[in-house]
Structure 1
Amino acid sequence: MQVTKSTVFKNHLTLELVVLEFDAGSFVPQSFDLFKQPLPERIKKAVHKRQAEYLAGRLCATQALIALNFENPIVHTADDRVPIWPAGTFGSITHTKGIAAAIAGLQDRATGVGIDVEKLMKDSQETKLQTHILRDDESTQFHELSKQVTHPLSVIFSAKESIYKALYPFVKKYFGFDKAKLIACSETILTFKIMYNLSKQVQTGLEVNVHYQLTDGLVFTQCLFETE
């Protein structure tokens, strides 16, 4: 499988970010061996496109950890499909068609990070999916965001995905988009408020910031959560 480094996204966090562009069409099952990456049993059963996306994401994670001076790092997958980062590290992985990214850092206290990349939705999709992604009380901020970006729902969807990834290590269970409410937006940052008690560390009223950027028909978001 052909992969090349990309600088399509800026990194707004003080962590190691690696972005790769990959050609899923050039993927062959032997690609895992060529890149010295393990092939999980459940991924063996997936179509080649899914295998290529998984491999590209793990390559990004490996390169991010190498940048943190880890030798031969491997990011395995837990039963709940969450990446298992080496002891003393934390991170997040994302991918969409032809592009993958991973971010990683050294963990000196309980910290979570989430990143997400999405292709911008078509206008018809943005209209159709609003009720699935937005809370009723987010309409005012959604309208404000729509003055700043061409695809506001795509941005909010990606932001909530990044929030989910950043908070999951502290919640340890699925929670829906309704648990986070958009309360403020700027040209690069969205601020959300958690609306339910999800765990000891994630309580009602908690505010989290998400960095966002749109480029080349994609939206990329980053969310860092640090416990006190």
Structure 2
Amino acid sequence: MRTSHFPLPFAGHRLHIVDFDASSFHEHDLLWLPHHDRLRSAGRKRKAEHLAGRIAAVHALREVGVRTVPGMGDKRQPLWPDGLFGSISHCATTALAVISQQRIGIDIEKIMSQHTATELAPSIIDSDERQILQASSLPFPLALTLAFSAKESVYKAFSDRVTLPGFDSAKVTSLTATHISLHLLPAFAAMMAERTVRTEWFQRSNSVITLVSAITRFPHDRSAPASILSAIPR
């Protein structure tokens, strides 16, 4: 599959962005993935997206001297080396990945149309959040896309600690030209209730990218070796 890769510094991290041509995908492109057999029943588009995401992840890991391909867990989540946290996202013809010594979540979404935003808003935000989005200087479709994406990024950062939280378990409390803050409710996770998480964002063409790097660590969160930590962009 034809791809192009470039790293992009953002919010104290380095994103690894892979633009890909899904029409050039071939089944044998998956063979270098250790879990390729588990993708056998996936559709062609899904396979291409998955491959592009893993390519981005490999670039991110190689930057810190780790030469491995993230596997796939029982919930289809990426499996990262001990002591490292990472996140992968994809949208249309772009995939991206990031790694960190802290919990991290990243998401990319195509900006909604006015019609889609009007239709989906009730399932993403409540009336208080709507007021915050409408009070910002951003067009409502962009603001709603950011709310959706920010919640996705936060869920990814804590995916092993939460069980399918709904969009109503994290509420938008502020939105600016560079970040969006979310207040986590007990429905998100009891251990994190009443915390506020700041999510950074930027627009790339007709998409938005959101990133959250969480300072919270849990008892079973391992630290990476010093040789790896020293190579992670700060």
Under a length normalisation based on structure 2, what TM-score does the superposition of the two structures give?
A: 0.86
Q: Identify the match of residue 94 of structure 1 among 75, 86, 89.
A: 89
Residue 81 of structure 1 aligns to a residue in which SS? Answer: coil
How far 1:196 sits from its partner (Å)? 1.6
User: For the structure 1 residues 39 and 27, does the alpha-carbon distance in structure 2 shift closer, same or farther, using more than 3 Å as the test?
Assistant: farther
Q: Identify the match of residue 23 of structure 2 among 22, 25, 46.
A: 25
How far 1:197 sits from its partner (Å)? 5.2
How far 1:200 sits from its partner (Å)? 5.3
Query: 2:69 aligned with 1:78, yes or no?
Result: no
How far 1:186 sits from its partner (Å)? 1.5
How far 1:37 sits from its partner (Å)? 2.2
Under a length normalisation based on structure 1, what TM-score does the superposition of the two structures give?
A: 0.88
Once the two structures are superposed, the pairs formed by residues 30-45 of structure 1 within 5 Å of their partners are 30-33=28-31, 36-45=32-41
Which residue of structure 1 aligns with residue 57 of structure 2? Answer: 61
Runs of 4+ in 1 over 3 A off after TM superposition: 39-42, 197-201
How far 1:137 sits from its partner (Å)? 2.1
Once the two structures are superposed, the pairs formed by residues 155-170 of structure 1 within 5 Å of their partners are 155-170=146-161
Deviations 1:91-143 (A, max 9, x none): 000001110000012x3xxx321100111111100000000100232122111
Query: 2:45 aligned with 1:49, yes or no?
Result: yes
Which residue of structure 1 aligns with residue 222 of structure 2? Answer: none
Residue 134 of structure 2 aligns to a residue in which SS? Answer: helix
Which residue of structure 2 aligns with residue 194 of structure 1? Answer: 184
Given that 2:30 and 2:36 are in contact with CA atoms closer than 8 Å, whether structure 1 keeps it comes out as no
Which residue of structure 1 aligns with residue 216 of structure 2? Answer: 227
The whole-number CA distance in structure 2 between the counterparts of 1:197 and 1:178 is 8
How far 1:184 sits from its partner (Å)? 1.2
Number of equivalent positions:
216
How far 1:155 sits from its partner (Å)? 1.2
The whole-number CA distance in structure 2 between the counterparts of 1:100 and 1:77 is 17
Deviations 1:12-35 (A, max 9, x none): 133x421010000000011123xx
Query: 2:175 aligned with 1:185, yes or no?
Result: yes
Q: Percent of aligned positions with the same letter in both sequences? A: 31
Which residue of structure 1 aligns with residue 113 of structure 2? Answer: 122
How far 1:6 sits from its partner (Å)? 3.9
